[in-house]
Amino acid sequence: MFMFDVFKSFGEMYPNLNDDRYLTKMIQFGSIFNTFSFVWTFFLDLKSVKFKHLFSVLLLLQVFCCFAINLLVQSRASYALTIVFANLCMSGLFGLIHNETKIIFGETVGSPLYGLIFMGQIITVVTTYALLQLLKTSKSYIDILYFCGSLSTFGLFILWFIFKEKKVMKKLK
């Protein structure tokens, strides 16, 4: 999520990416992939595909983008791919979490709960703005990306070893 807000300013810190026209076009191109939430939810609707597997793909993309950022900024093509991956992650987050909260908690509780989760984005925006004001160097951006990658890795751990969809549903009934 953090990377999503700083593509342009982050890219401007690298001489090979510091081209306003290129960055603007890549961000516009990448935003097309932000509309792909229907793809994520299509796979979730298939009975053979589990939420855990789809969300793992999303988290693995985030982990890859965060920890491989030093390699990804070396070329324009790999940075463009990073922008696409981040947009796919964003669309997946909104598509999958909404559907899964409705599946686990039902229509009555799931939709308002997702509304509360969605409101948490306000915290992300404020935090990102504060971090951008405090940290102006590319080294600081990379440290934040490593931290975000660590959080995503922790999320993978929770998803695979703690989250059990059936147990959650049984407890609510």
pLDDT in tens, 104-160: 777 788 778 878 877 776 777 677 677 667 766 556 777 778 888 888 899 889 888
Q: How far apart are CA 129 and CA 80, in angstroms?
A: 23
Q: How far apart are CA 121 and CA 155, in angstroms?
A: 17
131 inside domain:
yes
- The answer to whether the beta carbons of residues 36 and 96 sit under 8 Å apart is no
Q: What average pLDDT does this structure show over 94-101?
A: 79
Q: Is 89 left (phi over 0), alpha (psi -120 to 50) or beta?
A: alpha
CA nearest neighbour of 76 among 15, 132, 127: 15
pLDDT tens digits for 7-24?
A: 777 888 889 998 989 988
pLDDT tens digits for 11-59?
A: 888 899 989 899 888 888 888 888 887 788 787 777 677 888 888 888 8
pLDDT tens digits for 62-87?
A: 899 888 988 889 999 999 998 888 88
Range of the domain at 108: 2-165
3-state secondary structure of 46: coil
Q: How many structural domains are present in the chain? A: 1
Instruction: Look at residue 167 in the predicted model and tell me its pLDDT.
Output: 47
Q: What are phi and psi of 94, to 5 degrees?
A: -70, -35
3-state secondary structure of 100: helix
170 inside domain:
no
Spatial CB neighbours of 22, under 8 Å, sequence gap ≥ 6: 76
Largest CA distance in the chain: 57
Instruction: Look at residue 76 in the predicted model and tell me its pLDDT.
Output: 92
Residue with token string 């306003």: 20
Confidence at 170, pLDDT banded by 50, 70, 90: very low
Residue with token string 């855990």: 52
159 inside domain:
yes
Q: What average pLDDT does this structure show over 159-166?
A: 78
Q: How far apart are CA 115 and CA 117, in angstroms?
A: 5
Q: How far apart are CA 124 and CA 1, in angstroms?
A: 8
158 inside domain:
yes
Residue 1 predicted with pLDDT over 60: no
Instruction: Look at residue 5 in the predicted model and tell me its pLDDT.
Output: 60
70 inside domain:
yes
Compute how many other C-beta atoms are within 10 angstroms of the C-beta atom of residue 79.
Answer: 22
* This prediction's pTM: 0.74
